[in-house]
Structure 1
Amino acid sequence: MAKYEILARQIKEQIERGIWLENEKLPSLRKQARQTGYSLMTVLHAYQMLESQGLISSHERSGFIVAAAARPASENKVQTAEAVSINDFVYEVLQASRDPHMFSLGFAYPDPALYPRHHLNKSIAAAAQQISLTSAMDNLPPGNPELRQIIAKRYAARGMNISPDEIVITAGALEALSLSLQSCTRPGDWVVIESPVFYGAMQALERLGLKAITVTVSPQNGLDIDALERAFQNHPVKACWLMSSFQNPVGYSLNDDKKQQIARLLKTYGVTLIEDDVYAELYTGQTPPMPIKHFVEDGNSLLCSSFSKSLVAGYRIGWVAAGRQSLDIQKQQLMSTLATSAPVQLSLVDYLSTKNYESHLKQLRKKLITRKKAMLACLEVLLQDVATIHAQEGGYFLWIECQPHVNAMDIYREALRLHITIAPGKLFSLHDEFNHCFRLNASFELNEARRTLLKKLTGYIINITRSGD
C-alpha cells in the first residue's frame, strides 16, 4: 500500500470516529506533513484521494473541509498483597507539602511558577462570562463535547485515532484511574501494579478492596516483563495498572518493543490495561512517546491522563479514553462526583482553543530539562559516592538510591526539620524493598538558598551512610 493510501485511510478513520466533524477544516498540507512526517506531495495525494471518495472537499483559500455526512450516522457511540494499606502515610507526606515555607522536593507537580497563569486567568474570566444556567447539565458525563474534541485531535496529531465518544472528562487523572479500576474489577480481584509504584494506585486498591500483585520496575531496565507474564500465569489477574512513559517514581520509559510485548501478553491472558499517561507531554526530543494502548489490538485498554502536569495542577481536569468501557465509567462517575466542574472545563476549552498551548509546552520542556540537569549536577557533587542518582530523559523526577543500611525515613524526618520535603521510598511500595530510596522533584530553580538547604541535607545523608559502614 502506498504512503498516501495509508495516510488517507488514517484520516478516513479519524473522520468516522468523529475526531474531525462535518464542515470542519483539516490541517493544512504543511501542518499535516509536519505532524505525520510525510512529504507535501504524499499529503496532497491523500487529500485528493479522500476528495474523490466524497469524504472531504477543497475550497479556495480555505483548504480542505470535511464533507457533510462524511461520518456514518450508525453505531458511532462507544457504548501480592491480600490487603493494601497506604492511605495514612500518603496523607502525612502530602500534609507536609502544604507548608508554603517548604522547599517542596517531595511535591508531585512541576513548579507552579512554570504554569501560564496570566493566560489561564484570562480563560477563567472568559468562561465566567459565557457560562449559563444550563452549563452544569451540558457538562455532565462524559463531559464538555468541545474539550473532548480537542483532546481527540491532540491524540490524532500523535497518530492515535481515539474518538471523542470514547473520552470521559474526570476530576483529575486519579479519578480517571479509579473509575477505570471500578469498571473492570470487583472487591477481592487481583490487580497487577508496579513496584515502586505511584501511591495513588495503592490508595485506589485499598479503597476498592482489591488484591495487589507487584512487578518490579528498575531505573535501569523498567518493567520486568518476564515477571509480568509469571503474574498473569499464576493468578486470575483482572487488570494491570501501568505507567509506560516517565514512570513515577523512577522516571523510566519503556521503548516501543517492550510496549508491544506487554500488549501481546495482555491479549494472550485477557487482562485489561489501565494506563497512567499523565507525563506524556513532558518528553525530550522531537517525538512524543506512544502509550501501550497504541499497540493493544483488541481495544481492552483504558488510557488515563490530565492537564495537571503539563498546564495547571489546581484545575483537577483529567480524562480517560475508555473505549467500550465509556458508558460504564460515566455511570460510575454519576454515583461518585456526579460531574467535573463545568466552569473549569469551559475555561480549558477557551485556553486550548485560543492560546498557544504548544508554545507553552515547548518552553516547559526546555525549562524542565535545564532545571533537572542543574539539580543532577549539584547532587552529583554533594553526594559523591554515597548514593546513586537515577536520572532519566523526560519528566522531572530524580530517584535517589542510598546504601542498603540507610533508612530514607530518617532522611525524610531530617529534611522536614530543614524545611524540605522529599518523597521516601516507603510511599511507593507495599513492602520494604525501597526503604533506602527517595524521590526528588527537579522542576524547581536552584537559587543560593536552595543550594544551601541541599548541602545541609546531603551532609546528613553522608554522615548516616558512613556511620553505618
Structure 2
Amino acid sequence: MYKSEQLAQHLRQLIENGTLKAHEKLPSLREQVQLSGFSLITVMNAYQELESRGLIYAREKSGYYIAQGLLEIEAEHAQIVSLNTPVEINSLVFKYLKSIQDEKIVPLGSAFPAQDIVFSKKLTQIMGQISRNPKSYDAIDNLPPGNLALRKLIAQRYCMQGIATDPEDIVITSGCMDALNLSLQAIASLGDYIVLQQNIFYGALQAAERLGLKVVTLPEHPQDGFDLTAFEHILKTYPVKICWLMLNSHNPVGFTVSDEIKHKIAVLLHQYHVHLIEDDVYEEMHYASKKPVSMKYFDQNNMVLHCSSFSKTLGAAFRVGWVHAGKYSQAIQHLQLMSTISVNTLLQNALVEFISNYHYEKHLRVLRKSLQQHKLQFYRYLESRLPTGCKLQYHPSGYFLWLKLPENIESMAVYEALIQQQIGVAPGRLFNVAEAKTQYIRLNCSFAWKDDIQQALDALLSTISALSSDQTNI
C-alpha cells in the first residue's frame, strides 16, 4: 500500500468513528506533513483521494474540511455523487467531432436536427429581402446587448409563460453555447465547485475543463430524471457556487423534469445561495399541447440564468441565442465585447421580421409534428429488433433516443466499429466523466426514413450482436 493510501485510510477511519466531525477543518498540508512525517506530495495525494471520494472538500484560501454526513448517505445510495477533478474531455470531443465531419457519414451522432426538417422557406425569403436594404447591416444597433426589437420579442415570449421580463434582462448571443459560456464566466472562478448531471451535453464538461472548475456529478433518477435527495446532499456537502442543468428535453437522455421537482430545485438553490445556468436549447421541441416551463419560472432572487437559441429550431446557420441574464446583463455584455463582440446583424433583423409576423409559431407546429413522427418511427423499428440486454429510453420531446447496451459492451467499441462503416453514433463517454466506461449510445432521430437510415440502424443492431457474441465467447 502506498504511503498516501495509508494516510487516506487513517483519516477515513477518523471520519467514520466520529473523531473528525462534519465541517471540521483538517490540518493544512504543511501541518499534516509535520504530524504524519510523510512528504508534502504524499499528503497532497492523500487529501486529493479523500476529496475525490467526497469525504472532504476544499475552500479557496482556507483549506480542507470534513464533508457532512456522507457515510450515512453512502449506505443508502451506493454511488450517489462523484467528484471529478480535473475534468479532461476536450481531446476526446475534438477527435469525435473530426471523425463525423465527412459528408458520407450517416449522422446519427449529430447534435443538430436534420437540415430539411428545420429549413424555413419563408425565413430564407425574408433574408433575401432585407439583405438588399443597407440599413439591415447597421452594426451599431445590434451591438451588446443586441437588437432591441428582437429582445422585446423574446421578452414577450417569457411574459406569455408567466415570467416577468424586461428587454434589458436579455442579452443576444451567438447561439446557446455562447450564452452558456458567457454566463458561466460571469459567475464562476478557477477552483469553484459546479454541479453537472452525470450524463450531460459535452459542452458543459468542456467549459468546466477550460475554467478549471471542480465538477460534482449528479446521477439521473430512474423515474423522475432528477434526484432531489442527491442534489440536496451535494449542496450540503460541498461549497457549490453554481449548477449547469438541462431539465427540458435533456440531452442526451431525453427526459423532462416535472414542475413539482423544478419548484423544489428552486427552493434549494435559494436556500443554499447557489446559481443555476439553465441550458434550455430544446425548450420548443416538446410534443405536448403545453410548453414545459423553465426553471426561470420558479426563480427566487435572480439565481437562474436561462439560456436558449434558435439554432436547434431553425438550423445551425441561424446561430442566434440569448440569455435571460437579469442582474448579470452588464457583466455578460462586457465579456461578450471581449470575445464575439456582436451577433450577426442580418440574422437578428431577419428574426425580428420572422417572429413578429407569426411565421415562427407556424414553423414550430410543423417541426414538432415531424420530430414526433420521426422519433416514434425510429423507436418502433429499434425496439422490435434490439438484441438481448439492450434497453431503449423514449421520451415525448426532442429528437434523441438513449440506448443502453448489454453489460459486456462499451459504447466506444460500438462507435469505433460503426465509424469504419461510415455511420456516426454518439458514445456515452462523450457525456459522462464519472465512469471510465459507459454502456450508452445517443441516437439522432430527426431524419426522414430513407434507405440509408434503415441500413445504418441495421448495421447498429448487427454490430451490437456481434460485439456481444465476441464477449460471450472470450
CA distance in 1, matches of 2:256, 2:111: 18
In the alignment, residue 260 of structure 1 is paired with which amino acid?
Answer: H
Give the C-alpha shift of residue 219 in structure 1: 5.5
Give the aligned partner of residue 166 of structure 2. 163
**Aligned partner of 2:241 among 231, 234, 238:** 238
CA distance in 2, matches of 1:367, 1:117: 14
Give the aligned partner of residue 463 of structure 2. 460
Q: Find out whether 1:451 has 2:454 as its counterpart.
A: yes
Give the C-alpha shift of residue 276 in structure 1: 0.5
Which runs of structure 2 are paired with 1:3-82 in the superposition (5 Å)? 80-82=83-85
**Aligned partner of 1:260 among 253, 258, 263:** 263
Give the aligned partner of residue 382 of structure 2. 379
Give the C-alpha shift of residue 438 in structure 1: 0.9
Q: Find out whether 1:283 has 2:264 as its counterpart.
A: no
Question: Can you list the C-alpha shifts for 1:309-353, whole angstroms capped at 9, x where unaligned?
Answer: 112222211100011111111111111111111111112112222
Give the aligned partner of residue 106 of structure 2. 103
CA distance in 2, matches of 1:333, 1:204: 16
Q: Find out whether 1:226 has 2:229 as its counterpart.
A: yes
Question: Can you list the C-alpha shifts for 1:344-395, whole angstroms capped at 9, x where unaligned?
Answer: 1112112222351111111111111110010001111221433100111111
Question: Can you list the C-alpha shifts for 1:400-428, whole angstroms capped at 9, x where unaligned?
Answer: 01122201111101111121111101000
Give the C-alpha shift of residue 133 in structure 1: 8.7
Give the C-alpha shift of residue 214 in structure 1: 0.6
Task: Point out where structure 1 has 5 or more consecutive residues left out of the alignment.
Answer: 1-79
CA contact (8 A) 1:218 1:250 kept: no
In the alignment, residue 411 of structure 1 is paired with which amino acid?
Answer: V
Q: Provide the TM-score with structure 2 as the length reference.
A: 0.80
CA distance in 1, matches of 2:398, 2:268: 27
Cα distance, 1:384–1:406 mapped onto 2, change above 3 Å: closer
CA distance in 2, matches of 1:387, 1:142: 47
Give the C-alpha shift of residue 284 in structure 1: 1.2
CA distance in 2, matches of 1:329, 1:440: 34
CA distance in 1, matches of 2:377, 2:318: 29
Cα distance, 1:133–1:467 mapped onto 2, change above 3 Å: closer
Give the aligned partner of residue 211 of structure 2. 208
Give the aligned partner of residue 307 of structure 1. 310
> Does 267-276 or 385-394 show the bigger shift?
385-394
Question: Can you list the C-alpha shifts for 1:223-264, whole angstroms capped at 9, x where unaligned?
Answer: 211111111111111101011111100001100110011001
Cα distance, 1:357–1:459 mapped onto 2, change above 3 Å: same
Give the aligned partner of residue 39 of structure 1. none
Cα distance, 1:346–1:134 mapped onto 2, change above 3 Å: closer
Cα distance, 1:192–1:236 mapped onto 2, change above 3 Å: same
In the alignment, residue 287 of structure 1 is paired with which amino acid?
Answer: K
> Does 429-438 or 314-323 show the bigger shift?
429-438
Q: Find out whether 1:199 has 2:199 as its counterpart.
A: no
Cα distance, 1:289–1:316 mapped onto 2, change above 3 Å: same
In the alignment, residue 402 of structure 2 is paired with which amino acid?
Answer: W
Give the aligned partner of residue 368 of structure 2. 365
Q: Find out whether 1:182 has 2:182 as its counterpart.
A: no
CA contact (8 A) 1:219 1:250 kept: no
Give the C-alpha shift of residue 172 in structure 1: 0.6
Q: Secondary structure at the match of 1:153?
A: helix
Q: Secondary structure at the match of 2:244?
A: strand
Give the C-alpha shift of residue 437 in structure 1: 0.8
Cα distance, 1:126–1:218 mapped onto 2, change above 3 Å: farther
In the alignment, residue 274 of structure 2 is paired with which amino acid?
Answer: V
> Does 122-131 or 285-294 show the bigger shift?
122-131
In the alignment, residue 368 of structure 2 is paired with which amino acid?
Answer: R
Give the C-alpha shift of residue 306 in structure 1: 0.2
Q: Secondary structure at the match of 1:239?
A: strand
CA contact (8 A) 2:415 2:424 kept: yes
In the alignment, residue 299 of structure 1 is paired with which amino acid?
Answer: N
Q: Find out whether 1:439 has 2:442 as its counterpart.
A: yes
Q: Provide the TM-score with structure 1 as the length reference.
A: 0.80
Give the aligned partner of residue 127 of structure 2. 124
CA distance in 2, matches of 1:306, 1:449: 30
CA distance in 1, matches of 2:252, 2:375: 15
Identity %: 38
Q: Secondary structure at the match of 2:84?
A: coil
Q: Secondary structure at the match of 2:414?
A: helix
Give the C-alpha shift of residue 89 in structure 1: 1.2
Question: Can you list the C-alpha shifts for 1:142-176, whole angstroms capped at 9, x where unaligned?
Answer: 00001111111112222222211100000110110
Give the C-alpha shift of residue 268 in structure 1: 0.5
Give the C-alpha shift of residue 453 in structure 1: 2.3
Task: Point out where structure 2 has 5 or more consecutive residues left out of the alignment.
Answer: 1-82
Q: Secondary structure at the match of 2:243?
A: strand
Q: Find out whether 1:135 has 2:131 as its counterpart.
A: no
> Does 404-413 or 132-141 show the bigger shift?
132-141
CA distance in 1, matches of 2:212, 2:345: 31
CA distance in 2, matches of 1:138, 1:420: 44
CA contact (8 A) 1:397 1:439 kept: yes
Q: Find out whether 1:418 has 2:421 as its counterpart.
A: yes
Give the aligned partner of residue 337 of structure 1. 340
CA distance in 2, matches of 1:120, 1:102: 28
Question: Can you list the C-alpha shifts for 1:258-278, whole angstroms capped at 9, x where unaligned?
Answer: 001100100000000110111
Cα distance, 1:218–1:111 mapped onto 2, change above 3 Å: farther
**Aligned partner of 1:428 among 418, 422, 431:** 431
> Does 126-135 or 414-423 show the bigger shift?
126-135
CA distance in 1, matches of 2:393, 2:437: 14
Q: Secondary structure at the match of 1:129?
A: coil
CA contact (8 A) 1:283 1:395 kept: yes
The total of aligned residue pairs comes to: 390
